Amino acid sequence: MVFLAEGTLRKSFFEVFGLPRKLAVDPAELQRRFYALAREHHPDFHQSAPPTERARVEATSALVNAAYRTLRDPIARVDYLVRLEEGRETREGDAGRPTAPPALLQEMFEIQEALAEAKTGALDDATRATLAEQRVALRTRLAGEEARVTGPLSARWDAATPAERPAVLAAFKEGLATRAYLRTVIDDLTQALGEDDVAEREDKSVAHRRH
Amino acid sequence: MTSPSERTRVSRIVGIDLGTTNSLVAYVDEATGLPRVIPGAEDRPLLPSVVAFTPDGIVVGYAARRQLARRPADTVYSVKRLMGRGFEDVKDEARYLPFRILPGEGLVKLAVGGREVTPPEVSAAILKALKERAERHFGGAVDKAVVTVPAYFNDAQRQATKDAGRIAGLDVVRIVNEPTAASLAYGLHRLSEGIIAVYDLGGGTFDVSILRVKDGVFEVLATNGDTHLGGDDFDRVLALWLLEDIAVRHHAELDRDCVDLAHDPEAMQELRLAAEAAKIRLSSEERTTLTIPFAGFTYRRDITRAELERLVEPLVVRTLGPARRALADAGLTPADIDQVVLVGGSTRVPLVRRRVQGVFGKTPHSQLNPDEVVALGAAVQAHILAGGITDMLLLDVTPLSLGIESLGGIVNVLIPRNTTIPTSAREMFTTSVDGQTLVDLHVVQGERELAKDCRSLGRFELRIDPMPAGMPKIEVTFLIDANGILQVGAKEQRSGKTASIEVKPTYGLNEAEVERMIEDSFTYAEADVETRMLIEARNEADTVLVHAARALRQGAHLVGADERTSIESAVAALRAARAGDDRGRIHEATTAVNRATEHLAEVLMDAALKGALGSRRAAEILKDQ
């Protein structure tokens, strides 16, 4: 274990790729720039450098990789932009469950009730069917929310004047919070229904699990 | 891009495939630019990953493998499956292993050859044998290596591999994932651009990786696997099935002799080795015959490929879930895959090929020898690191999510699985009590929500100056380096002081232990080359003595009394020499016995052939051929 080199680069992910702080990113161009940067900074090509230089290269390479991972994913891109604008690049240590956005509270009430019930005992077929239906509806809603955030809302950010930006940021935060909440509820429903994702389900037919 | 003349050349780096069953060492030939495996004695490329702890010292490779059935308790095989693991992880499997695994906390310990050793020390013996092989080939020191590991190896397993290198006197300059290494070997000239799936089923581990190959960049998109699944398991299910069959067919003999094969390590090793051999034959034949001589009876039966397939099917099916998950993580469907490459000896099993084809919908191929391709790829990566190749770049990923345990035992994921490495994450921590000087972080790896269900990597204790609660701002940086190994650094933001970190690895060796093992290995190494040659001389003497005794038994009456006496005295001299430590003397005495029995052997051969071939002397017949 070594301590990370002093002077770790503090460039924003957008700056790393020489891109403006905009959400419209051409994936092919991003990949091209990523490969070029990766070649320049990968530890493989600096093996004979002195240790301090190698540590710097490693940190730069890590930054380039993290930047690519974040910017190539439209949702992660928005999430990062919000944190960047608010000056909290480093996430606070918090693994709490997302709370329901006020707008969703009312309609989620029914689902939460059913979930609470599911936790106490076995599900009857009718409740199962209802929960499954609700999950389908929530997934549609989640897809819609993601499309709104990465589509029109992202376009609005790119076109916004500095004065308009705070409002767009607030809309992003609300959209991301809704998304996080929907995902949690969908996970809970999946758990209550006793299912995992497709691959997990196949695994269960087999005696051994990885963990 | 750097031109050849300005390249800064690092000293020679070899590529090593440290396998569960076999290990290899390779390098890139400067003249051709192609990777080559360095063969060992008798020109054999593989080194069986078997280490025998004999009273005379450590023996590695074929010589050790020959000891498997004779000295099962002191001969370690498949040690890779124990790397970076705790007793609890392996205790189920330990029942089938003929050597003793000691119960206890932390890293697994083995009791072999009258001492305690850890899996990294056993692996170090294998690495050292490969290092010596390379040194003999180059006629000079080799002290740097790229070593491959299963892509799905966790931090502790990677660290254990690095430790093994250090103990063997090798600087492991890079840990490379096996499927990725294989893709590099293919990439040199046989791989077109596109999306490739590498399915790697070895002796003890399974990996699947999805890569995008474009403009010389080998970008791993996703990887998955099972570090406890491989050909060893195929052998075991077959051996257990045979054991039941023997119990049914030979219960009379077993009862008569009061034999319990399951608790007889020698017999179980014979059974395992016979099962392995039959499995291999059934990859090319539809049916084979097993013959296993036990004390008191010989077991013989035919087995068909269909019977073997029925037994191993559940194991093969276990590889399909990870394959689908890797595809899903890469955001791809089978239709997106351009090529499927097979790696690892176990992919020779026809059922495996059929199932892989079923998952990816493409005929898999394996133009490069699946036993050698990983070592060749390691050599390519070594050549890249040495500055010999500048147009290929490997971008690998971390196979498992990295997180820290937060309130309620929930994992807070900092670095998700399949993130390109090196990668880092920064996290802020503070204190909850006034004057608190210690912050304890529990780092885990895995995909489960609760820390207790994930793999514990270790505890990091941050020491800071006392301040009111909530005042300190400790920034902790988690860096996963290009080896897939975690490095942690911390800094208190207000004071700007580096916080001291004490690391307590859950399943690892601390610095002092590694140092001691390096010293130990020197002590043993002094004797190693010499003892190995002594052991080999003794083995040869044994073989010659057995032959001489048989020849005397069968043909003493065919030669004169003088000749008989000279043979007997040569045999007695060899027995005496064998009891001593003088290798030269054993060698001379062995040659003397060979010379003394030459004529008798000829006479015996003659007698044996006489009936069928009339009066021509056997020696003449042999000459004719």
Measured in angstroms, the CA of B414 and the nearest CA of chain A are apart by: 9
CB distance B482–A61 less than 8 Å? Answer: yes
Residues 6+ apart with CB under 8 A from B562: none
Q: B422–A62: do the CB atoms touch at under 8 Å? A: yes
* Contact call for A44 and B384, based on CB within 8 A: yes
Put simply, whether B448 touches A (Cβ < 8 Å) is yes
Nearest-angstrom CA–CA distance, B442 and B105: 17
Question: Would you tell me which residues 408-427 of chain B have a C-beta closer than 8 angstroms to some C-beta of chain A?
Answer: 410-412, 419-427
- For the four alpha carbons of A119, A122, A124 and A128, in that order, the dihedral sign comes to positive
Q: Edge to edge, what strands does the sheet with A91-92 contain?
A: A91-92, B423-429, B474-480, B486-492
Mean pLDDT across B199-207: 94
Q: Is B108 left (phi over 0), alpha (psi -120 to 50) or beta?
A: beta
CB-CB neighbors (< 8 A) of A48 in chain B: 8-10, 387
Give residue B92's pLDDT: 85
Question: Collapsing DSSP states into helix, strand and coil, what is residue B471?
Answer: coil
Taking the CA of residue A193 and the nearest CA in chain B, the distance in Å comes to 18
Q: What is the chain A residue with the closest CA to B426?
A: A90
Distance of residue A140 Cα from the nearest chain B Cα, in angstroms: 19
Token pair of B307 as six digits: 């019977």
User: Half-sphere exposure of A145 toward its Cβ, with a 13 Å CA cutoff?
Assistant: 20
Which of B424, B447, B459, B473 should one mutate to test binding to chain A, selecting the residue with the greatest count of A CBs within 10 A?
A: B424
How long a stretch of residues is chain B?
625
**B residues 6..65 contacting A (CB < 8 A):** 8-10
Confidence at residue B253, expressed as pLDDT on a 0 to 100 scale: 87
Give the residue numbers of B marked as catalytic. Answer: 17, 80, 178, 200
Q: Which domains does chain B have, with CATH numbers?
A: 8-229+318-395 (3.30.420.40), 231-315 (3.90.640.10), 400-509 (2.60.34.10), 521-624 (1.20.1270.10)
Q: What is the DSSP letter of B335?
A: G
Residue B333 pLDDT > 90: yes
Mean pLDDT for chain B overall: 87
Q: pTM of the predicted model, to two decimals?
A: 0.80
- Which tokens go with B101? 């695994």
What percent of chain B clears pLDDT 70, i.e. is strictly above it? 92
- Nearest by CB to residue A65, choosing from B317, B394, B422, is B422
Task: Write a three-state SS string for B437-462.
Answer: CEEEEEEEECCCCEHHHCEEEEEEEE
At B605 the pLDDT is 76
Contact B424 A68 (CB under 8 A): no
* C-alpha–C-alpha distance, residues B250 and B497, integer Å: 74
Q: Which has the closest alpha carbon to A201: B210, B233, B320, B330?
A: B320
The residue in chain A having the minimum alpha-carbon distance to the alpha carbon of residue B315 is: A206
Q: What whole-number distance in Å separates Cα of residue B62 and Cα of residue B48? A: 6
Cβ contact, residue pair B424, A211, below 8 Å? no
* Phi, psi angles (nearest 5°) of residue B118: -105, 160
* Inter-chain residue contact A62 with B10, CB threshold 8 Å: no
β-partners of residue B622 are none
Q: Which amino acid is at B384?
A: I
User: Which residues touch A121 (CB under 8 Å, ≥6 apart)?
Assistant: none
Helix ranges (H only) for B168-230 are 178-187
B488 reaches A (C-beta below 8 A): yes
Find which of B81, B448, B481 to mutate to test the A interface (most A CBs within 10 Å of its CB): B481
Which positions 452-481 of B are in contact with A (Cβ < 8 Å)?
453-455, 475, 477, 479-481
Residues 6+ apart with CB under 8 A from B340: B196, B197, B198, B199, B356, B357, B360, B362, B363, B364, B365
Predicted confidence band of residue A205 (pLDDT cuts 50, 70, 90): very low
Task: Decide: A57 and A43 in contact? Cβ < 8 Å.
Answer: yes
- C-beta of residue A65 within 8 angstroms of C-beta of residue B420: yes
Instruction: Name the residue among B489, B495, B440, B490 with its Cα closest to residue B466.
Output: B495
ipTM of this predicted structure: 0.79
Cβ of B321 under 8 Å from any chain A Cβ?
yes
- What mean pLDDT is predicted for residues B589-613? 79
A211 touches chain B (CB under 8 A): yes
Poorest-confidence range of B71-75, B176-180, B351-355? B71-75
Tell if the CB–CB gap between B412 and A93 is shorter than 8 Å: yes
Minimum-distance CB partner of A3 among B384, B395, B489: B489
Shortest Cα distance from B538 to chain A (angstroms)? Answer: 45
The pLDDT score that the predictor gives to residue B506 is 76
Residue numbers in A near B207 (CB within 8 A): none
Give contacts of A 60-99 with B, CB under 8 A. Answer: 61-63, 65-66, 68-69, 89-95
In the A/B pair of chains, how many CB contacts fall below 8 A?
128
Whether residue A177 is predicted with pLDDT greater than 50 in this model: the reply is: yes
Nearest-angstrom CA–CA distance, B422 and B315: 33
3-class SS of residue B324: helix
Alpha-carbon distance B60 to B50, whole Å?
6
Q: Nearest CB to B475: which of A90, A202, A208? A: A90
Q: What is the pLDDT of residues B232-256, one digit of tens each?
A: 999 999 999 999 999 999 988 888 8
Q: Which CATH architecture has domain A13-72?
A: Orthogonal Bundle (1.10)
Helices (DSSP H) in B168-281: which residue ranges?
178-187, 231-249, 251-256, 265-281
DSSP chain A: --PPPTT-----HHHHTT--S-S---HHHHHHHHHHHHHHH-GGGGTTS-HHHHHHHHHHHHHHHHHHHHHHSHHHHHHHHHHHHTT--SEES--PPPPPPHHHHHHHHHHHHHHHHHHHSPPPHHHHHHHHHHHHHHHHHHHHHHHHIIIIIHHHHHH--TTTHHHHHHHHHHHHHHHHHHHHHHHHHHHHTT---HHHHHHHTSS----
Question: Searching chain A, which residue's CA lies closest to the CA of residue B404?
Answer: A93
pLDDT digits (tens, 9 = 90+) for B277-319: 999 999 999 999 999 988 788 899 999 999 999 999 999 999 9
If one counts every other C-beta atom within 10 angstroms of the C-beta of residue B533, the result is 13
Query: What pLDDT score was predicted for residue A209?
Result: 27
CA of B578: how far to CAs of B19, B557, B593, in Å?
34, 27, 12
Query: How far apart (Å, rounded) are the C-alpha atoms in residues B124 and B473?
Result: 42
Q: Which residue from A minimizes the CA distance to B441? A: A93
| Residue B157 predicted with pLDDT over 90 | yes
Query: Which residues, including other chains, have CB under 8 Å from residue B157's CB and lie 6 or more apart?
Result: B83, B84, B85, B149, B150, B227
CA distance linking residue B207 with residue B227, whole number of Å: 8
Nearest to A176 by CA among A141, A146, A140: A146
pLDDT tier for residue B499 given thresholds of 50, 70 and 90: low
Amino acid at the residue A191 = Q
Contact yes or no for B449/B401 (Cβ under 8 A): no
